[in-house]
Amino acid sequence: MSGRILVVDDEKDMLSLLRRIITEKTLHKVATEHDPLKAVEIMEKEAFDVVITDLKMPGMDGIGLLGEVRRIQPRAVVIIMTAYATIETAVEAIRKGAFDYISKPFRKERILLTLRRALDWQALTRENVALRESLEQQKKPPSIVASSPAMTSTLDSVKQVAKSMATILIQGESGTGKELVAKSIHAYSDRSDKPFVTIDCTAIPEQIIESELFGHVKGAFTGAWKDKRGLVDEANQGTLFLDEIGELSMVMQAKLLRLLQEGEYKAVGGLNTKHADIRFVAATNYDLEQRTAEKTFREDLFYRLNVIGFRLPPLRERREDIPLLVRHFLGKYGKLNRKEIRDIDPETMSMLMARHWPGNVRQLENVIERGVILCRSEQIMLEDLMPERSHASPLSCFNGATYSLPFKKAKEAVIRAFHQEYIHAILRQNKGNISRAAEQAGLQRQYLHRLMKEENISAENFKDDAANHASGVEVLQAGTQL
């Protein structure tokens, strides 16, 4: 670990001695200053982890400098150096927030040891602060942006049912905000100051999922050299979020059912039955009802999970949320990238509203994040969001990623992109009138209607004036539709 250290002492010899001691044995960066007033100026411009200061100095003493450090860089740790005669004052400095003092003359080891303890203490404090902040964050409901009737009524119900102990199943396409809703259920519940634990059923290999969930006892299998707590133990009194529950094997489904039904479980290899006090929330982007019909998901487990069910609509079915979400993400990523972005130009907004968004809110978020990074003015323009658009060919979907797909998949991808581009174009030209668009294209009205359904294209988006500006073309991007 290397830190940035500022040493302040009016004796220049002391400064060079300390610099030598510190840089000889460590990787810390050391700045020195003999004038405490100048040291204050340096601190205004540069951040330090540790300030080592003498106590008696002309212009400003060590206690005065300590006050300035507290004001300018409250996270920096202060070490006071003092001659024996001023020990009393050194003790006072500690009362005022200095980390430690060193009496002069000192030994090399003493200064290095104190410095190491100071940096360790600081790292620990930082970790604690981060931990506390993340716990506080967990207690606060996450900000969910919505104005569409479908989402606002879902969010109202979320608040209502959060306080009950009922198990909740959240279904919806990828990126629609299932995890966000799960977190908000926890935050609005009476368990908000207890843990929210997530188990991602896709991320954990089948062989170890049981031990991850329920823990194991020493000797349960090769490599189990001590007892291990499971996520169910961690989530006790709190909420356990079973993410991507549709991925769970039949064997695990049976074990989970027992936990949900009886509130009981056993650690792998353990003999004792344990009792869990847990609120369960599950999410999936599969249609679980269909999976139960196909017998790949247990029906009894489905009903246990689906005591209360929410289905989050895909973004293309709640386009009125898009402007709010765009502004929310502009604020979020503007702040993160220290850019003040006031707005987005109306034409670009119309285009965003007309897109298909197969990756839902997550995809929109990624597009805005990229736009904020690329944007060079206070307003985001189309080319910031989709640089590939400015030199788009008629088949702009045909890019490098397409070639790396198997022939059949590539062909499907290109055809889908062609459908998207073509249908958007004819609907735009005919202001959303399907019959006229079909006539222009030489297609049967029903056929066009069916294609629109398959591609999730709604004529409504082309009827108002704003949408007439929208190019509405969905450019295929690797990782979204392909």
Ligand X SMILES: Nc1ncnc2c1ncn2[C@@H]1O[C@H](COP(=O)(O)OP(=O)(O)OP(=O)(O)O)[C@@H](O)[C@H]1O
Q: Which is nearer to ligand X, 61 or 179 (CB)?
A: 179
Binding site for ligand X (CB under 6 A): 144-146, 172, 174-180, 285, 325, 328, 361-362, 365
CB of 330 to ligand X, least distance (A): 12
User: 366 is in the binding site of which of Mg ion, ligand X, none (Cβ under 5 to 8 A by kind)?
Assistant: none
CB of 21 to ligand X, least distance (A): 48
Joined tokens for residue 78? 């202060």
Determine if residue 328 is left, alpha or beta; phi over 0 gives left, psi from -120 to 50 gives alpha, anything else beta: alpha
Neighbours of 446 (CB within 10 A): 10
CB of 145 to ligand X, least distance (A): 4
Q: Which is nearer to ligand X, 328 or 424 (CB)?
A: 328
Q: Which is nearer to ligand X, 181 or 380 (CB)?
A: 181
Q: Which is nearer to Mg ion, 209 or 344 (CB)?
A: 209
CB of 129 to Mg ion, least distance (A): 28
Task: Check: CB of residue 169 under 8 Å from CB of residue 139.
Answer: no
Q: Could you identify the residue written with the tokens 């604690």?
A: 128
Task: Check: CB of residue 424 under 8 Å from CB of residue 475.
Answer: no
User: 192 is in the binding site of which of ligand X, Mg ion, none (Cβ under 5 to 8 A by kind)?
Assistant: none
Task: Check: CB of residue 385 under 8 Å from CB of residue 367.
Answer: yes
- The residues pairing with 51 across neighbouring beta strands, listed in sequence order, are 6, 78
Q: Which is nearer to ligand X, 200 or 300 (CB)?
A: 200
CB of 201 to ligand X, least distance (A): 11
Residues 6+ apart with CB under 8 A from 198: 179, 241, 243
Q: Give the binding range for Mg ion (CB under 5 A) out of 1-9, 68-76, 124-132, 178-186.
A: 178-186
Residue 358 amino acid letter: P
Q: Which runs of consecutive H residues, i.e. helices, occur in 35-170?
A: 36-45, 62-72, 87-95, 108-139, 149-162
User: 146 is in the binding site of which of ligand X, Mg ion, none (Cβ under 5 to 8 A by kind)?
Assistant: ligand X
Task: Check: CB of residue 362 under 8 Å from CB of residue 178.
Answer: no
Number of shown-chain residues binding Mg ion (CB under 5 A): 1
Q: Which is nearer to ligand X, 48 or 241 (CB)?
A: 241
CB of 200 to ligand X, least distance (A): 8
Q: Which residue is at the shortest CB distance from ligand X?
A: 177
Q: Which residue is at the shortest CB distance from Mg ion?
A: 179
Q: Which is nearer to Mg ion, 146 or 425 (CB)?
A: 146
Query: Alpha-carbon distance 154 to 159, whole Å?
Result: 9
CB of 284 to ligand X, least distance (A): 8
Task: Check: CB of residue 24 under 8 Å from CB of residue 67.
Answer: no
User: 31 is in the binding site of which of ligand X, Mg ion, none (Cβ under 5 to 8 A by kind)?
Assistant: none
| SS3 call for 7 | strand
Task: Check: CB of residue 416 under 8 Å from CB of residue 404.
Answer: no
Q: Which of 35, 92, 100, 179 binds Mg ion (CB under 5 A)?
A: 179
